[in-house]
Amino acid sequence: MPDRDDSDDLLVRAARTAAAYRAGLAERPVAAARPPDAVRAAFAGPLPAGPTPPADVVDALVAAADGGLVATAGPRFFGFVVGGALPAATAADVLAAGWDQCAFNEVLSPAAAAAEEAAGRWLVELLGLPAGASVGFVTGGQAANTAGLAAGRHAVLARAGHDVERDGLAGGPRVRVVAGAERHATIDRSLRLLGMGTACVEEVAAGPDGGIDVADLGRVLDRGTGPLLVCLQAGNVNTGACDDLAAAVPLAREHGAWVHVDGAFGLWAAAAPARAHLVAGAALADSWACDGHKWLNLPYDSGFAICADPAVQAAALSYTAAYLVGAGGDRPAPSDLVTESSRRARGFAAWAGLRELGRAGVADLVERCCVLAARFAAGLAEGGAEIGNPVVLNQVLARFTDDARTDAVVAAVQREGTCWLGGTTWRGRRWIRVSVSGATTTEADVDRSVAAVLRAAAAHR
Ligand SMILES: *Cc1c(COP(=O)(O)O)cnc(C)c1O
């Protein structure tokens, strides 16, 4: 067994290695240095027959991983909707690993439970959601969508006299699911997991910017009756457009719907005064999915499953008999609000990140990314790119001439390493998708990246 000093030394060394990596992020090529096959070979090999000293294991991990790390935490990663990780939140996550707390409930870890409760209240306030809403600390937007839709499934079937937790879907009334044509793919996976399948989705057309067409929503809603879930979206992954929630939520409510808002990144508009109008009306919904590891710049894995009525969220998700019979008091435990059972203490990082930024810091982060996205779009347009969307949030679609040239530019930029951005298909055409979500991204990072894209475009005519 290692003695105590060895263990201390090992954790300090691991933290130092991570810190040195983070210190080098701004100048490191953004893409991984080695191809996936080489990285796979570095990790591969037979299962060791016996033990290895911990320090050697960590050295081996660092050596194997190095060429396969992507600087997603750095200032010039613009792919997917990926943010970095704030310093205090990262350090808190290191502590969470070291403390090895289980966030199941306050018996297992009073600190983990209290951090989630406090951070949950701050989140609800920042996002402008109803005070008293419950917040489950889940792995990400996917799990938050599953939790929100599970709560909705419970509520609409309970109103119809059917106990879906006990009896499942069989024998109950059919649940209608109405969702936008440009919803995130995770909504469909959540529906699969919840037994409703994807064929049940009644699609609502999207407007020109990628937000829902509210007139079409009205038409789709009028087509049927019965238990109804409506999934709306704050933040289209291509265009950043937010559904007109102020119009859509009340309309869905008039039809008796449970309204879930997938706001994985877009809901953060609520925290920036100049952008909050984009998600006006969000608070009228019943459940919300939001990410911590995207725009809030918390470490992975961090998502928030939020529900206006804590009892409904717990009824759908809890398996704790004590809570279900009311013996656990009137507050659901952390584990009653999530899709997981044992969990790492994610609340420490969320609490630390929110405390590090404060209200003004979160507002600045959101606003700054939006302004930088507009700068990115303007720079590309000046260099001859077509811009595909009004840049209202942190997302930009750009293309050069045709699909082939656009894809060639994406590949060349990724290889060159100044920045990283991905390609996407939107409305039948290929686009470069730029997402500005990092807390450390500056104007200079955007300008350098625009120049790299324009160089690649000039080389691929
Ligand atoms: C990223 C995203 C999700 C999924 O979130 P994960 O954190 O990756 O699970 C869901 N919806 C939208 C709109 C997203 O952008």
Quick check: CB of 258 below 6 Å from ligand 1?
no
Angle 122-299-210 from CA coordinates, rounded to 5°: 75
Please tell me the residue having the least CA distance from ligand 1 atom 14. 264
CA gap 189, 182 in Å, rounded = 14
Cis omega before residue 222 (within 30°)? no
Counting atoms of ligand 1 from 1, which one is nearest the CA of 145?
A: 10
**Residue at token pair 């919904």:** 285
Ligand 1: residue of 191, 238, 262, 302 to mutate (most ligand atoms within 8 A of CB) is 262
The overall pTM is greater than 0.85:
yes
**C-beta separation of 398 from 424 below 8 A:** no
Tens place of pLDDT per residue across the chain (461 aa): 445 457 779 999 999 999 999 999 999 999 999 999 999 999 999 999 999 999 999 999 999 999 999 999 999 999 999 999 999 999 999 999 999 999 999 999 999 999 999 999 999 999 999 999 999 999 999 999 999 999 999 999 999 999 999 999 999 999 999 999 999 999 999 999 999 999 999 999 999 999 999 999 999 999 999 999 999 999 999 999 999 999 999 999 999 999 999 999 999 999 999 999 999 999 999 999 999 999 999 999 999 999 999 999 999 999 875 555 444 556 899 999 999 999 999 999 999 999 999 999 999 999 999 999 999 999 999 999 999 999 999 999 999 999 999 999 999 999 999 999 999 999 999 999 999 999 999 999 999 999 999 999 999 98
Angle 189-193-194 from CA coordinates, rounded to 5°: 115
Residue range 92-353 forms a domain whose CATH class is alpha beta
Beta bridge partner(s), residue 306 = 135, 288
Quick check: CB of 265 below 6 Å from ligand 1?
yes
Beta bridge partner(s), residue 291 = 303
**Residue at token pair 């009004």:** 390
CA distances from 154 to 43, 60, 77 (A): 44, 48, 39
**C-beta separation of 84 from 5 below 8 A:** no
Centroid of ligand 1 to alpha carbon of 142 (angstroms): 6
Contacts with 399 (C-beta within 8 Å, 6 or more apart), sequence order: 385, 386, 388, 406, 429, 430, 431, 432
